[in-house]
């Protein structure tokens, strides 16, 4: 599981989704309503939507990740994030980002780009927006823009107070600048899909 640094002191974990075409199902639905393979997408929708944002987004064994762990459920998990965000009226950088990653993995490139654009930070000293630029450039197959974003990110000065910690306050070892390895993966595997380029074999 890959980890990327999000602006601020806390480090959200970025999920690498898998291509899927699954049905949205709830417990108790008959098998006749479920597409082949989509039985893995059955989950307690009301329970997941009732979670606090941290539990919904950052629990590696729960929230939307419990749905997205099955390849056939990537788009179902993306829809779940969208419903969670809209039901609560949230303007959440990380929720936009994670939904965008799932859309990109599933091949919905235009929607992924739209969501990535919404994930930008107004106050950004950690290069998050440059990482967004690189990700969008990759999806648009714009190599000059990707290389420019990579160069700008690599030159980013390290803040004197850079002290990354997880949600429990534990120090996390993160190289500077954050997310550069993912950007390098986009360059190395420029002609491949988002899922593969974001994966560890391309970094």
99 is a domain residue: yes
- Give the span between the Cα atoms of 49 and 8, in whole angstroms: 25
65 is a domain residue: yes
Distance of CA 95 to the CA centre of its chain: 8
- pLDDT band at residue 141, thresholds of 50, 70 and 90? very high
- Give the span between the Cα atoms of 152 and 141, in whole angstroms: 18
Better-predicted residue by pLDDT, 155 or 32: 155
83 is a domain residue: yes
12 is a domain residue: no
Q: Where are the beta strands (DSSP E) in 33-166?
A: none
Model confidence over 51-79: pLDDT tens digits?
Answer: 999 999 999 999 999 999 988 999 999 99
- Give the span between the Cα atoms of 203 and 91, in whole angstroms: 30
CATH number at residue 42: 1.25.40
Q: Provide the mean pLDDT of the chain.
A: 84
Long-range contacts, stretch 141-146, CB < 8 angstroms, 24+ apart:
141/190, 143/187, 143/190, 146/183, 146/186, 146/187, 146/190
Q: State the total domains in the chain.
A: 1
- pLDDT band at residue 174, thresholds of 50, 70 and 90? confident
Model confidence over 23-34: pLDDT tens digits?
Answer: 333 333 333 333
In this prediction, residue 39 carries a pLDDT of: 61
20 is a domain residue: no
Peptide bond into 177 cis (omega under 30): yes
CA distances from 187 to 102, 109, 143 (A): 20, 18, 8
57 is a domain residue: yes
7 is a domain residue: no
9 is a domain residue: no
- pLDDT band at residue 181, thresholds of 50, 70 and 90? very high
Residue 141: domain span = 31-202
Q: Is the pLDDT reported for residue 9 higher than 60?
A: no
């Amino acid at each position: 599981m890959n980890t990327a640094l999000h602006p601020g002191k806390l480090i959200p974990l970025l999920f690498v989704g898998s291509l899927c075409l699954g049905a949205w199902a709830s417990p108790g639905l008959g098998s006749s309503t479920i597409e082949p393979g989509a039985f893995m997408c059955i989950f307690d929708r009301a329970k997941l939507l009732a979670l606090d944002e941290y539990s919904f987004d950052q629990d590696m064994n729960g929230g939307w990740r419990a749905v997205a762990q099955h390849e056939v459920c990537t788009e179902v998990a993306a829809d779940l994030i969208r419903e969670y965000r809209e039901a609560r009226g949230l303007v959440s950088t990380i929720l936009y980002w994670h939904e965008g990653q799932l859309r990109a993995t599933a091949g919905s490139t235009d929607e992924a780009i739209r969501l990535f654009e919404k994930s930008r930070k107004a106050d950004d000293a950690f290069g998050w927006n440059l990482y967004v630029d690189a990700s969008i450039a990759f999806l648009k197959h714009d190599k000059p823009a990707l290389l420019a974003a990579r160069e700008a990110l690599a030159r980013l000065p390290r803040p004197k107070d850079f002290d990354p910690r997880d949600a429990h306050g534990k120090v996390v070892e993160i190289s500077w600048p954050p997310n550069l390895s993912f950007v390098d993966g986009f360059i190395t595997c420029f002609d491949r899909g988002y899922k593969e380029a974001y994966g560890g074999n391309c970094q």
